[in-house]
Structure 1
Amino acid sequence: MGAWFARYLRRHLDGLSLPLWSASPVAGHPGPLVIYSNHPAWWDAATIILLANRLYPGRDHRAPFDAAMLAKYRIFERLGAFGVDLDSPRGAAQFLAAARAILARPGATIWITAQGRFQDVRVRPLGLRPGVARLAELAPDTLFVPLALEYAFWDERGAEAFAAFGPALSGADLAALPRPERLARLEGALTETLDRLAADVMSREPQRFRPVLAGRKGVGGIYDLWRAAAARLRGRRFDPAHRSAGE
């Protein structure tokens, strides 16, 4: 499915990139990982699946998913998602019980869109749901990694997907804090990562990023076929991109 989502993203977006400063994924950590992010768009699930596939290929990946949405998109259940009722105390208990079992496994990784609902990338404060902070109590050997997600239109017809990992936080250090302070620490780390990513995205400077996956360039269809034929007649190499490298 990682290969399928890669083809899907190439077809519909202009690519997925990480800024050069993005912290190296802690794939070698022997304990569990909790990678928690903002939730700006429908594309988040596909982006996360690609990051998991490319950067953490040897780990066991799971993710909480709105139960109502999981009923519509059953494929994600087969990919490791588990349903959570976001609007009831029962759902919170389900989430913690499932997370406890997952974090007890070697090499476990939980990906959480911690806002719980779609939110614009510019919303401050982020309003993370408190459940993500409870996980430090369940498995203090967990590392918590903030993941900033953003999508923007640059020079091509498709949007660019951008992701950035912030520095990891120790679960044991977080567990030593009162719950409100713990949640604030997690939210602060993600906010800093989002703000730094936003500055790079607004710069529109590709050299600040390294590609994870390149998308399809150009307009497509008959128009690009005509452009390609015209380039061949002139003895030139056809580049479908709106702006060629170096321009």
Structure 2
Amino acid sequence: PRVGLAEAARALGALEEAVTAYRAALILEPERPGVQRGLGEVLMQAGLHEEAAVALMRAAAEAPEDPELRAALTRALLMGGGVETAASRDSGLSGDLSVFHLEELLEFLGLQRASGRLHLRSGGQEGVIRLYEGRLVDVEYPGLPSLAAALVARGLVSRAWLDALPAARKGGDADLIRALLEVPPGPRPLPTDFVERVIRARVEQGVETMLRWSSGQARFEKERVNEPAFAFGHQDVLMSVFTRQDEAQA
């Protein structure tokens, strides 16, 4: 009934009443398909672009293959002013962390299957999240030791092993990860699932740190990224971070 009331109010141009009815429907029938989308579209009509973007993000998460919904989300983000296109549309976008927080930006980039680097700056701190087709690959942020230093500190590889790697293996973390899988650092190769857990822990640690940055700027730069050995879905990473935070507070 609430959805029908919302649709009727929208058809009559009573946008405020339609928004109220859609929000009531979300409370009464949170799993009903199309309610988030309807709310987002009405909020767009009412000029409430930031609120529309949040609703459309949630709708797009339920229907990631819908091109019209993804296009509507992009329009809402751009019109809301929280995210702006860069000088060239193909070069990326920029945004305000006080309007769209990190989890919302990751949701948007995940829906776009974007590959590149998300740069964050807040209060003099800077961080980077690298993505491949919307999935998280690695992170950089203040205080995080390099992957090579972390591996040596944990006794997983030796400095001699690192020094013996060909120059082509030392171009960055992605090259080092492949080396771990292909060039055994000891008598036996490191198990693939173990290496994956080490990399994922670093990604989760970085995301957890940058989630605390509630103000500042975000800038995403598209770039060609070779398929990495490991990449993690943003929703899985965020769920792990939030679960760990809840357990720490319990």
Which structure would you say has the larger Rg?
2
What TM-score do the two structures reach when normalised by structure 2?
Answer: 0.24
Higher relative contact order (CA 8 A, sep 6+): 1
Structure with greater proportional strand content: 1
What TM-score do the two structures reach when normalised by structure 1?
Answer: 0.25
